[in-house]
Amino acid sequence: MTNIPAQIGDSLENVDTPALIIDLDAFESNLFKMAAFAKSAGVSLRPHAKTHKCPSIALKQIEAGAVGQCCQKVGEAEALVRGGVRDVLVSNQVVGMHKLRRLAALAKEATIALCFDSPDQVTAASIAASEAGVQLGGLVEIDVGMQRCGVASPDAANELAQRIHAAPGLIFRGLQAYQGLAQHLPSIHERQSAIQSAADIVRATVERLSKSGIACELISGAGTGTFRFEGLSGLWNELQVGSYVFMDADYARIGGEGSKRFTDFDHSLFVLATVMSKTTSDRAIVDAGLKSYSGEKGLPWVYNRPGLEVVGVSDEHGKIKIGPDAQQLFLGDKILLIPGHCDPTVNLHDWYVGVRKGRVESLWPITARGAST
Amino acid sequence: MTNIPAQIGDSLENVDTPALIIDLDAFESNLFKMAAFAKSAGVSLRPHAKTHKCPSIALKQIEAGAVGQCCQKVGEAEALVRGGVRDVLVSNQVVGMHKLRRLAALAKEATIALCFDSPDQVTAASIAASEAGVQLGGLVEIDVGMQRCGVASPDAANELAQRIHAAPGLIFRGLQAYQGLAQHLPSIHERQSAIQSAADIVRATVERLSKSGIACELISGAGTGTFRFEGLSGLWNELQVGSYVFMDADYARIGGEGSKRFTDFDHSLFVLATVMSKTTSDRAIVDAGLKSYSGEKGLPWVYNRPGLEVVGVSDEHGKIKIGPDAQQLFLGDKILLIPGHCDPTVNLHDWYVGVRKGRVESLWPITARGAST
């Protein structure tokens, strides 16, 4: 565990850098907006903990109406259950008896479910659950266009659902139907169209299972770029949105309603950085690089400082170009950066520094940081 | 701290995934090759701990002949000193009294130096060293073509060197002269040319300081892509190479001698991943994604499995295309991935699993993981 970069009551200016900052006003606004949408649409909200990796945030989402959390890894589920979350879906396959035993152990303390796309895995999970004397929920993951995990046909889904239904220690819960490739399509029409195609597959699968007398209690999926389509589809009844609490540059680039950008949510996640070198008038170097924000979705944006632009990044440096009309930067100045991609950025840090009106109000440990096993 | 993915004596097949693996034979070969080069060239070796972030590796490098370590951050220096390293250069600027005080505290236990490119910073470091009653080494960082940190002219370097020389608590040690942009230039000729340009700047600076009666004990710099040029230049006398211990796909892409690839070092760093989904014959999904290797320098390579190729990556998934002539993959199979970029990949993990001839021989904690303050 690394140094805590701040103390409660510190001004933002006094937070040590680099630090992962949450603007609590923006964060809460995002939290309530999504909760209100789910309520109005009559669907459940099960936010994705792979984004925040933090039980403190999970409990806030649940307090605002979420039914529980989803996550990708057993290690994340462990962190969530240890942090007080009592309903966790691993929205992913879990392969290997060691991992399945760890997951089954959690089912003594919480309602736990996982996804399947292979008969062998149903057998293995059934053994782990039976050994531990617990029940694990099981969802069939179906490929709704992502070409990643998930069975490829309604018949295969039906066969797997029946197998889960019959397996000791497992309870068939429904379908995992996430179209990840749709989330960042540039226009709202492309995203809508991708979810319409996904819906056709979901509908065909539900009908096929229905013929076998198997009902889908849950149809779970959706992301921040498409949640309205799934939420209003009449098919999905549980939303696995993650990034909405934070927003990032990658989501801020996609199109929203009309010809506008996607602005349903506010940027609430930042990396605070300090100017550590200032040898020319048109350039400043800050102390946050690829070990403070991930770089695979492009460079971070400078927040609320017109004319400043990140133009280069290395392991521990960010190069800021100072445009002719920008306010000058000086050695020791602090700036906020909006990460390109929030999930892998969060995974680089051990602490969220929650700030409201310029003061540190909360310090939340990112207990599932690095929990990829 | 996350779960330890293995136990000593485990076979590689039984290591939990994702896991960061070191092939110890390849690692030691790299270690000794670079030590032998430095010895034959008559220059010091001060490997960069920003790559490995691990005192266990630092001590091995020192045992093989290195004079100490360099690193980018005070947090890394703390981890190194706590782990037994007694000579650390922060090859970077350190801004803010809190950080400078932390660095000065380390100088009670080890020889510590840092870099400067601003007069104000010399004053601040002098105060921190004097308060703590210690001596800090000071190097003037000069910009040798990278346009990142470093003073822009021999006159500015001379002024700063004199200021360090005169400052209580500081000892002027020499020049920091690193050309990071040269490291990954495609051809050996481009890299050589970039270091020749850097050498011109170093030479002019040394001469300017010499006129003021200031000798440069150290001229420190170089990276894995260019170390031969700096090492044989007659100017640099200390090499700050980092990636050579591991190699990564990014270095394996550059050109070497003749028309060959750069193969001075062997791949010793891998991410072990498990096939977690196998729903079609031409595709396998593994359980390691952007939270197990960094993605900003391209996709990882599959090691030693012809016909397998990483074609997509998300937070916790890697998509493997299985070519027509490849050996088939099955659920639960394990494969080794060569990361695109070793430094940010290491920063995602808490443990190195050291493997020799298929058995786990060492477990080294990555104690400077996340130590970016």
A6 occurs within a structural domain: no
A308, β-bridge pairs: A322
Q: Give how many domains chain B has, as a whole number.
A: 2
- Residues of chain B contacting residue A347, judged by C-beta atoms under 8 Å apart: 291, 348
A328 occurs within a structural domain: yes
> Are A234 and A267 contained in the same domain?
no
Predicted confidence (pLDDT) at residue B295 exceeds the cutoff of 70 = yes
> Are A182 and A279 contained in the same domain?
no
Query: Which is nearest to B93 in space by CA: B186, B178, B14?
Result: B178
B324 occurs within a structural domain: yes
**Are residues B317 and A274, on separate chains, in Cβ contact within 8 Å?**
no
Within 10 angstroms of residue B324's Cβ, the number of other Cβ atoms is 7
First to last CA, chain B: 18
Band (pLDDT 50/70/90 cuts) for residue B2 is: confident
**Are residues A314 and B5, on separate chains, in Cβ contact within 8 Å?**
no
Would you state the structure tokens that stand for residue A255, as one six-digit string?
Answer: 């199109």
- Helices B188-211 and B154-166 meet at what angle, rounded to 10? 50
DSSP count for chain A of H helices, then E strands: 11, 17
In a 3-state reduction of DSSP, which class is residue B335?
A: strand
Cα–Cα separations (whole angstroms), residue B65 to A95, A130, B37, B59, B177: 44, 56, 11, 10, 22
Note the pLDDT tens digit of each residue in B116-146: 999 999 999 999 999 999 999 999 999 999 9
A359, β-bridge pairs: A11, A356
> Are B48 and B81 contained in the same domain?
yes
Cα-to-chain-centroid distance, residue A59: 15
Report the C-alpha dihedral over residues A121, A125, A131, A133, rounded to 10 degrees: -160
Note the pLDDT tens digit of each residue in A143-164: 999 999 999 999 999 999 999 9
> Are A225 and A270 contained in the same domain?
no
Cα–Cα separations (whole angstroms), residue B276 to A66, A118, A144: 28, 9, 18
Note the pLDDT tens digit of each residue in A31-57: 999 999 999 999 999 999 999 999 999
- Which amino acid, B246? F
B149 close to A (CB below 8 A): yes
CA angle A59, A60, A62 (to 5 degrees): 65
Domain boundary among B252, B285, B310: B252
A311 occurs within a structural domain: yes
Domain boundary among A228, A252, A276: A252
Band (pLDDT 50/70/90 cuts) for residue B1 is: low
- What pLDDT is stored for residue A1 in this prediction? 63
Q: Which segments of chain A does DSSP mark as H helices, in order?
A: 24-41, 49-52, 55-63, 74-82, 97-106, 119-132, 154-166, 188-211, 227-231, 249-252, 342-346
Place of tokens 């803010």: B96
- Which of residues 281 through 320 in chain A touch B, CB cutoff 8 A? 283, 285, 287-288, 290-292, 294-296, 312-317, 319
Would you state the structure tokens that stand for residue B247, as one six-digit string?
Answer: 């190699």
A164 occurs within a structural domain: yes
Note the pLDDT tens digit of each residue in B31-63: 999 999 999 999 999 999 999 999 999 999 999
CB-CB contact of A265 with A332 (8 Å) = no
Q: What is the Rg, in whole angstroms, of the alpha carbon atoms belonging to chain A?
A: 22
- What pLDDT is stored for residue A258 in this prediction? 81
- Which of residues 30 through 89 in chain B touch A, CB cutoff 8 A? 50, 72-73, 75
- Which amino acid, B228? R
CATH number, domain at B355?
A: 2.40.37.20
> Are B186 and B64 contained in the same domain?
yes
A7 occurs within a structural domain: no
Which domain, by its residues, includes A170?
24-252
- Residues of chain A contacting residue B5, judged by C-beta atoms under 8 Å apart: 373
- What pLDDT is stored for residue A185 in this prediction? 96
Task: Choose the closest CB to B315 out of A50, A277, A316.
Answer: A50
CATH number, domain at A232?
A: 3.20.20.10
CB-CB contact of B130 with B165 (8 Å) = no
A174, β-bridge pairs: A139, A218
Q: What is the pTM of this model?
A: 0.97
ipTM greater than 0.90: yes
CB-CB contact of B70 with B47 (8 Å) = yes
> Are A103 and A207 contained in the same domain?
yes
> Are A228 and A328 contained in the same domain?
no
**Are residues A280 and B152, on separate chains, in Cβ contact within 8 Å?**
yes
Asked whether the bond before B47 is cis by omega within 30 degrees of 0, the reply is no
Would you state the structure tokens that stand for residue A54, as one six-digit string?
Answer: 């933090």
Band (pLDDT 50/70/90 cuts) for residue A257 is: confident
CB pairs under 8 A between A and B: 193
**Are residues B277 and A147, on separate chains, in Cβ contact within 8 Å?**
no
Domain boundary among B201, B220, B252: B252
Sign of CA dihedral B345, B346, B351, B355: positive
In this structure, which long-range contacts are made by residues A191-198, counting pairs with CB atoms below 8 Å and at least 24 apart in sequence?
A191/A225, A191/A226, A191/A229, A191/A254, A192/A226, A192/A229, A194/A145, A194/A226, A195/A226, A195/A229, A195/A230, A195/A233, A196/A229, A197/A144, A197/A145, A198/A144, A198/A145
- What pLDDT is stored for residue B260 in this prediction? 86
- What pLDDT is stored for residue A3 in this prediction? 87
> Are B242 and B267 contained in the same domain?
no
Task: Choose the closest CB to B283 out of A99, A147, A317.
Answer: A147
B203 close to A (CB below 8 A): no
Predicted confidence (pLDDT) at residue A89 exceeds the cutoff of 70 = yes
Listing DSSP states for A105-159 in one string gives HHTTTSEEEEEES-HHHHHHHHHHHHHHT--EEEEEEB-SS--SSSBSSHHHHHH
Percent above pLDDT 70 for chain A: 100
Listing DSSP states for B342-361 in one string gives HHHHHTT-SEEEEEETTEEE
Listing DSSP states for B165-183 in one string gives HHSTTEEEEEEE---GGGT
Average pLDDT of A189-210? Answer: 98
B258 occurs within a structural domain: no
- What pLDDT is stored for residue A33 in this prediction? 98
CA atoms within a 13 Å half-sphere pointing along the CA-CB vector of A341 = 20
> Are B360 and B232 contained in the same domain?
no
> Are A221 and A344 contained in the same domain?
no
> Are B139 and B195 contained in the same domain?
yes
Band (pLDDT 50/70/90 cuts) for residue A260 is: confident
CA atoms of A71 and A74, how far apart (whole Å): 8
Distance between A120 CA and the closest CA of chain B, angstroms = 9
B372 occurs within a structural domain: no
> Are A267 and A232 contained in the same domain?
no
Band (pLDDT 50/70/90 cuts) for residue B3 is: confident
Q: What is the Rg, in whole angstroms, of the alpha carbon atoms belonging to chain B?
A: 22
Cα–Cα separations (whole angstroms), residue A27 to A34, A49, A323: 11, 15, 30
CB-CB contact of B44 with B360 (8 Å) = no
- Which amino acid, B196? Q
